[in-house]
Amino acid sequence: MALLQISEPGMSTAPHQHRLAVGIDLGTTNSLVATVRNGISVVLNDENGRALLPSVVRYLADGGVAVGEAAQAMQSEDAANTIVSVKRFMGRGLKDVGEISRLPYRFADAPSAGPGSGMLQLRTVAGIKSPVEVSAEILKVLRSRAEVALGGELVGAVITVPAYFDDAQRQATKDAARLAGLNVLRLLNEPTAAAIAYGLDNAAEGVYAVYDLGGGTFDISILRLSRGVFEVLAANGDSALGGDDFDHRIHCWLLEKNHLSALGPRDTRLLLTHARAAKEQLTEHAEARITAMLSTGEMIDSVLARSEFHAMSQNLVQRTLQPLRRALRDAELGVADIKGVVMVGGATRMPQVQHAVGEFFGQTPLTNLDPDKVVALGAAIQANLLAGNRSGGDWLLLDVIPLSLGIETMGGLAEKIIPRNSTIPTARAQEFTTYRDGQTAMSIHVVQGERELVSDCRSLAKFELRGIPAMVAGAARIRVTFQVDADGLLNVSAREMGSGVEAAITVKPSYGLSDTEITRMLQESTQHAQDDMQARALREQQTEAEQLLEAVQHALELDGGLLDQAGREKIETRMVALRDTLQLADHLAIKRAAAALNDATVGFAQKRMDKSVSGVLAGKNISDLEVKP
């Protein structure tokens, strides 16, 4: 008798057909890949048993490519062709990359059109390469490692990104994955991935802080974990701070101690490599010896004590605490509300970091999961779910967007449609109208940021809605809809409600927005909140005054003959006064001048109304105006 397989509720009808999916942590310093085996998330090692793949790519003259340890070993000898920390270049233009003279690379002009337009390019012996291509080489190695370990082709991958990656950087990451032959199931914020790993492995409930100090960026996320629901309450960070900055402090200490001036690219890379090794050694030991031979023949031999390192890096540690305070304020929580603190990123191994975080929250941080691996482990759990290997009812992930999204309105004002820290995926709509009589087109300018004026926000995209029926100003109704998908990518559409005319755009901004600018935007929104309110009030009054002046001028041109000389002069005098007041940065003065002009035109408006009524009634008798039953 044949035996029939019966699946458990919520499981695949063919449970033996497990779909192969992975989570990938594409890191600044190291990258790794993980999967779920027998219900447990595990990191996949290479043939030598190593979990971490150095995020280093070297291009060879014969067209070959070395990735990982082999490339890392040559980073000082062949600095121009060995790309390190490429994640810092993803979705960025040359203008966003600090002092490029300190970098050993040869940069090429970015393409002006097409995919990746505006993103910096690197000139290597193997040709011009974009950061997307470099990242794809890392992802190809991880994909190959996974397929060998799992014995089959992958159905997809969840790839993690910093919480403060903007649209351009997220799109660049997706492009790199596609170039590597990966199907991206989801882009997942790194702190959220860590929370997933801790929440499921430790059955955590309550509000948790995820402190993520990686090689290039710092993120803090506040999450509420409750009965399988992962809700991100707030996110903040400092995208110009990471483990590399601690290495640089040791590098500067070496220059000063050995009385060295500025070094060339090769020696700079050499000392930074030794500085990183010393930093890691000081995690376990009281001192570290740094020995290196420079290209000039000069020998470096210095001993760095842990206490000295802590002193020189103390302000870097303190810089991570301000974003903690902002995140708690955004979540409307206090330190006492935090049940646990999850540490993510190799840089959190530094004793001074753990001490400062523990002191701030008044509790010992959670470190029972490897901080280098926790992000990949969480991503693997999410990938396993999205691939269909688990019931979707087990848990729910609610992530957020880092910055507000909106459009430009008259007067250069930024009207927010989706506020920051909104849960994604999300969709919101708002109605707008035309500014001038007979307006048949509208320009939609999509912006990102927290400031009140468009000039202080970041431009994401522009498109036009044409074919609006000609109507008087304010009569048309244009509904603008913003949709943010689960990857944090944006789609905007505009529709005139009467005619059904519609236009839409998928926002793929030029690769040039740096995550540093996102942090700056949030900081400035707090610092300039009062100024922004005053600036908005001024712009609103200026816009209303300009509309009033235009309307009065139009009326004078049509019906100025209804006024006597004194009446016309009074109105024109008030118009001149209002125009003069528009030059002042005083919204109350503009409001008073506009009110005075309105008062001066009351009689004129009445005469125009009488004229209009007389025109309608002319030539008609009472019987023509009777209402017929």
DSSP 8-state secondary structure symbol assigned to residue 348: G
Residue keyed to tokens 């009472």: 622
Q: How far is Cα 27 from Cα 214, in angstroms, rounded to an integer?
A: 8
Q: How far is Cα 380 from Cα 416, in angstroms, rounded to an integer?
A: 35
Instruction: Examine residue 162 and say whether the peptide bond preceding it is cis (omega within 30 degrees of 0).
Output: no
- Close Cβ partners of 421 (under 8 Å, ≥ 6 residues apart): 232, 233, 234, 235, 330, 400, 401, 402
Select which of 166, 167, 190, 515 is catalytic: 190
- Close Cβ partners of 281 (under 8 Å, ≥ 6 residues apart): 288
Select which of 87, 129, 373, 416 is catalytic: 87
Question: What is the three-class DSSP state of 484?
Answer: strand
Neighbouring-strand partners of residue 234: 222
Strand-strand pairing, 184-189 and 156-161: parallel
Q: How far is Cα 104 from Cα 266, in angstroms, rounded to an integer?
A: 8
Six-digit token pair at 382?
Answer: 């999410």
Whether 212 is catalytic: yes
Select which of 133, 212, 219, 456 is catalytic: 212
Question: HSE of 596 in the Cβ direction (CA atoms, 13 Å)?
Answer: 17
Q: How far is Cα 85 from Cα 100, in angstroms, rounded to an integer?
A: 14
Neighbouring-strand partners of residue 482: 428, 492
List the alpha helices (DSSP H) in 82-238: 131-150, 167-179, 190-201
The number of angstroms, rounded, from the C-alpha of 452 to the middle of its chain's C-alpha atoms is 19
Q: CA of 162: how far to CAs of 25, 41, 177, 222, 516, in Å? A: 10, 21, 16, 14, 12
Nearest Cα neighbor of 480 from 444, 426, 436 is 444
- Close Cβ partners of 490 (under 8 Å, ≥ 6 residues apart): 167, 405, 446, 460, 482, 483, 484, 506, 507
Select which of 25, 166, 167, 546 is catalytic: 25
Neighbouring-strand partners of residue 581: none
Residue keyed to tokens 């040559």: 74
Strand extents, DSSP E, 402-513: 405-409, 413-418, 423-424, 426-432, 441-448, 458-466, 478-484, 490-496, 502-506
Q: How far is Cα 27 from Cα 158, in angstroms, rounded to an integer?
A: 14
Nearest Cα neighbor of 222 from 338, 379, 364, 360 is 338
Instruction: Note whether 71 and 60 are within 8 A (CB).
Output: no
List the alpha helices (DSSP H) in 32-166: 69-72, 131-150
- Close Cβ partners of 477 (under 8 Å, ≥ 6 residues apart): 431, 433, 496, 497, 498
Residues with a catalytic annotation lie at: 25, 87, 190, 212
